[in-house]
């Protein structure tokens, strides 16, 4: 049997209206006064508009459980290939192409930043790409590009900074007798395990596995697998140190 204290906590939660709970979330720490209250109100209005758009979006998804917050001018093509569990935030100008062999799947509390493009396939037909799976509590910053024509898997609690580019396909270019664009592509996979931080402007190439707990410095180009808990930087990226150990640079 639940304790009386637990029962009282649940009862108190239900006495708080959704608008009051949203107001608490939208408050800014360390600032107060009329300007802070105005900022909170603006945030509530924005969230309300995004939620309203999301209500009309989620029925088109393959599977939808939890609220969708859709920013302005978000483009979603082939939504029947997209699924999510829990809250999904698509900020302004996100471009999401769903058509893919394995679909596009988002976990709980996922956020896709302003202007990010997720493209497994061409908009004009041709061979469908493979797809994307993104775990719980992971996020992509503004201006990202996820080229999941091969398979891309992003784990739980992954932070991906602004302007990050993820690729799971490379052009073939060995022959000299025909143009590169006529030589086709080589599809691979790109795996980012749990609890990684990918800094701003990073490029990760096809075939790479970024192991759990890795930190990738801003602007790096990752061309090979990383060790668990490593800190890497550079073009191409190299090991600086392992978290919890002394520097090896």
Verify that 51 and 132 share a domain, yes or no.
Answer: no
Whether residue 98 contacts residue 122, with contact meaning beta carbons closer than 8 Å, is answered with no
Verify that 121 and 237 share a domain, yes or no.
Answer: yes
- Whether residue 49 lies inside any domain: the answer is yes
HSE of 157, CA atoms in CB hemisphere, 13 A:
8
Q: How far is CA 117 from CA 4, 93, 143, 202, in A?
A: 49, 9, 7, 15
Between CA 43 and CA 28 the distance in angstroms is 10
Instruction: Identify which of 226, 218, 182, 176 has the alpha carbon closest to the alpha carbon of residue 200.
Output: 218
Verify that 89 and 201 share a domain, yes or no.
Answer: yes
pLDDT over 60 at 115, yes or no: yes
Between CA 221 and CA 212 the distance in angstroms is 18
Instruction: Identify which of 219, 193, 190, 227 has the alpha carbon closest to the alpha carbon of residue 205.
Output: 190
Range of the domain at 185: 61-242
User: Which tokens sit at 213?
Assistant: 């707990």
Buried b (16+ CB within 10 A) or exposed e, 97-128: bbbbeebbbbbbbbbbbbbbbbbbbeeeeeeb
pLDDT over 50 at 32, yes or no: yes
Domains of the chain: total: 2
Between CA 11 and CA 181 the distance in angstroms is 63
pLDDT over 90 at 16, yes or no: no
- Whether residue 185 lies inside any domain: the answer is yes
Per-residue pLDDT of 52-76, as tens digits, reads 999 999 999 999 999 999 999 999 9
Burial class (CB in 10 A: 0-12, 13-18, 19+), 138: buried
Verify that 36 and 129 share a domain, yes or no.
Answer: no
Buried b (16+ CB within 10 A) or exposed e, 54-87: beebbeebeebeebbbbbeebebebbebbbbbeb
User: At a CB cut-off of 8 Å and minimum separation 6, what does 16 contact?
Assistant: none
pLDDT over 90 at 2, yes or no: no
Verify that 51 and 72 share a domain, yes or no.
Answer: no
What confidence score (pLDDT) does residue 249 get? Answer: 53
Average pLDDT on 221-235 reads 97
Verify that 221 and 126 share a domain, yes or no.
Answer: yes
What confidence score (pLDDT) does residue 26 get? Answer: 58
Burial class (CB in 10 A: 0-12, 13-18, 19+), 217: middle
Between CA 237 and CA 190 the distance in angstroms is 16
Average pLDDT on 80-91 reads 96
Verify that 39 and 81 share a domain, yes or no.
Answer: no
Looking up residue 230, the CATH number of its domain turns out to be 2.160.10.10
HSE of 103, CA atoms in CB hemisphere, 13 A:
11
What confidence score (pLDDT) does residue 36 get? Answer: 77
């Amino acid at each position: 049997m639940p304790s009386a204290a637990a029962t009282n906590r649940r009862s108190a939660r239900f006495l708080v209206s959704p608008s009051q709970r949203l107001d608490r979330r939208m408050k800014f720490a360390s600032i107060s006064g009329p300007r802070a209250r105005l900022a909170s109100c603006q945030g509530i209005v924005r969230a309300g508009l995004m939620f309203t758009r999301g209500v009309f979006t989620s029925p088109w998804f393959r599977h939808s459980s939890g609220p969708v917050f859709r920013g302005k001018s978000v483009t979603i093509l082939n939504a029947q290939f997209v699924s999510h569990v829990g809250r999904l935030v698509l900020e302004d100008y996100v471009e999401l192409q769903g058509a893919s062999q394995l679909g596009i799947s988002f976990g709980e509390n996922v956020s896709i930043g302003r202007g990010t493009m997720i493209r497994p396939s061409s908009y004009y037909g041709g061979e469908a790409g493979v797809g994307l799976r993104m775990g719980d509590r992971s996020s992509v910053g503004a201006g990202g590009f996820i080229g999941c024509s091969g398979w891309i898997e992003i784990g739980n609690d992954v932070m991906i900074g602004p302007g990050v580019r993820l690729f799971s396909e490379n052009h073939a270019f060995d022959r000299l007798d025909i143009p590169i664009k006529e030589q086709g592509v080589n599809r691979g996979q790109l795996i980012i395990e749990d609890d990684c931080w990918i800094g701003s402007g990073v490029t990760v190439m096809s075939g790479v596995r970024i192991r759990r707990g890795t930190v990738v410095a801003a602007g790096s180009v990752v061309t090979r697998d990383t060790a668990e808990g490593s800190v890497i930087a550079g073009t191409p990226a190299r090991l600086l140190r392992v978290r919890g150990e002394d520097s090896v640079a």
